[in-house]
Structure 1
Amino acid sequence: MKLEIDSLLEKIGLPYAYHSFNASRKKAIPPPYIVYVFTGTQNIKADNRVRYKVDTYRLELYTSEKLPSVELQIENVLEKHYIPWDKSEVYIDDQSMFEIIYDIDF
């Protein structure tokens, strides 16, 4: 059985919410925290059927400063569960926060 996305995020050990803390009806908190969103599917198809369903998500880590140890913590959990990922980074000037983005196939 596939690991569920919530179980995966619990293993990372940071507060998290789907889409936003407001949308998830959770109280906003200071960083670091993770927001995740479903971005689509990349299913494997054959014989006019979906043979293997692959959901794609974006995990967005928000921090007030660069935290390589937290990034490594996330990457170690993804690697441990054989979840392929790509990573990018953005600085959000008006919020003085880093956004580290992990695109994962789940």
Structure 2
Amino acid sequence: MQQSELYQLLASTGLNVYFYQTNKSVSPPYVVYLRDGASARGSDDKNLIKKESYIVELYTTMQDSKSQGKIEAVLDNAGVHYTTTESYLEDESLYMVAFYFDITRKV
């Protein structure tokens, strides 16, 4: 899966999706995603496999299991294994659920 395909996957939830940040004021719920790093490996002096790490963050004004479920469903259907954390951002009065996962693909 390429980064553009990840965007399409997240957008299919019907939530507003932004890469890394947005310069405009948006109303929750919304999703921000970013690439958190990458590595490549292979053999015979060629990289054959690339692993990219991503973080997807869901921001809501209250705990929103429906929006969280939409993200979980598209990741599950795409076969993406993920872990999550939840936190409350007091300065912004927002809940955040973060999904962490790696996408490994042949180069």
What's the TM-score bracket when you normalise by the shorter of the two chains?
A: 0.7 to 0.9
Q: Give the TM-score normalised by the residue count of structure 1.
A: 0.84
**Matched residue count:** 100
Q: Give the alignment of 1:15-34 within 5 angstroms.
A: 15-22=16-23, 27-34=24-31
Matched, 1:76 2:77: no
Cα deviation, residue 70, structure 1: 1.2
The alignment-based identity, stated in percent, is: 28
> Quick one: higher RCO (CA 8 Å, sep 6+), 1 or 2?
2
Displaced runs of 4+ in structure 1, greater than 2 A? Answer: 45-51
Structure 2 residues not aligned, in runs of 5+: none
Q: 1:105 aligns with which of 89, 102, 106?
A: 102
Structure 1 residues not aligned, in runs of 5+: none
Amino acid at match of 1:6: Y
RMSD, aligned α-carbons: 1.6
Alpha carbons 2:15, 2:30 under 8 Å: kept: yes
Which has more strand, going by share of residues? 2
Alpha carbons 2:42, 2:49 under 8 Å: kept: no
Q: Give the TM-score normalised by the residue count of structure 2.
A: 0.83
